[in-house]
Structure 1
């Protein structure tokens, strides 16, 4: 992942939101919430995650985008700011998959998204499950790999915004 990819991603998602939000209330019957794609994380925020074994791509991402808030896309999608990532409750997953992870995102339906620590591959969806002492456990079939890496996850999120803007139906992530 590099800065050019992140700039294109930001432009693509912003363009889709710019098409969706002006007519949102008429189309859906309620006003849209605030959607944001934040600027770069501050040096202090980046320092707060240095001890979390943050994958390189996620560190590059935070160097350009602090957080993403898309509350009206489906049930909502949120890429957490570095401070929230540093305070994470889940540090490893067990069940269908076993790995040390960094939780970096969530949706409004209760699922978390985690990337494998250090390597950054793959990205997992963690539906509601048992969490004890930092370990998430689940045999739920929705506990699955959703992307091969952070770029794949971001591509799928961009596509979910596009599907929602075009059809009003939530794209699956």
Structure 2
């Protein structure tokens, strides 16, 4: 992941939101929530991540985008700000897959998205499940790999936003 990719991703998603938001309330029958693609994380926020094992792509992302809030795309999609990621309420996943993880995103339906803490690959979908002492446990078939890496996840999210903006239907990640 590099700065040019992040800039293109921001521009693509912003263009989709520019298409979606005017007339949203007429189209869907309720006003839109606040959709944001934040600027870079601050120095203190990035410093708060120093003691955590965070994959390089996620650190690169936070150097350019602090958080993303897309509350009306399907159930909503949210890429968490560094402070929330640093708290590491879920540190491992067990069940269909076994990995040490970093949760970096969620949807409005209770699903979490996490990358392998050591390598940054793959990205896992963690549907609502049991979390005890930081360990997520589930044999749910929706507990699955959704992308090879963070870039693949971001590509899928961008595509989901584009489909929702043009057709009004959101797929799931």
TM-score tier by shorter-chain length is over 0.9
Aligned partner of 2:28 in structure 1 is 28
Measure the CA separation in 2 of the matches of 1:26 and 1:133.
45
In the alignment, the residues of structure 1 paired with residue 154 and residue 24 of structure 2 have an alpha-carbon distance, to the nearest angstrom, of 23
Conserved 8 A contact 1:54-1:117: yes
For residues 110 and 130 of structure 1, the distance between their equivalents in structure 2, rounded to whole angstroms, comes to 12
Determine the structure 1 residue equivalent to 2:12: 12
Unaligned runs of at least 5 residues, structure 2: none
- Is the Cα contact below 8 Å between 1:56 and 1:118 reproduced in 2? no
Distance 2:51 2:168 in 1: 40
Q: What displacement does 1:88 show?
A: 2.2
- Alignment RMSD, CA only? 0.6
1:27-106 matches, within 5 Å, as 27-106=27-106
Instruction: Quote how far apart the aligned CAs of 1:116 are.
Output: 0.4
1:112 aligns with 2:122: no
CA distance in 2, matches of 1:168, 1:50: 40
The residue aligned with 1:138 is: 138
Helix, strand or coil: the match of 2:51? helix
Alpha-carbon separation, structure 2, partners of 1:8 and 1:25 = 28
Deviation, 1:136, is 0.5
Tell me which residue corresponds to 2:149.
149
- TM (norm. structure 2) is 0.99
1:123 aligns with 2:114: no
Count, aligned residues = 173
* Residue-by-residue CA offset, 1:11-30 (whole Å, 9 max, x unaligned): 00000000000011110001
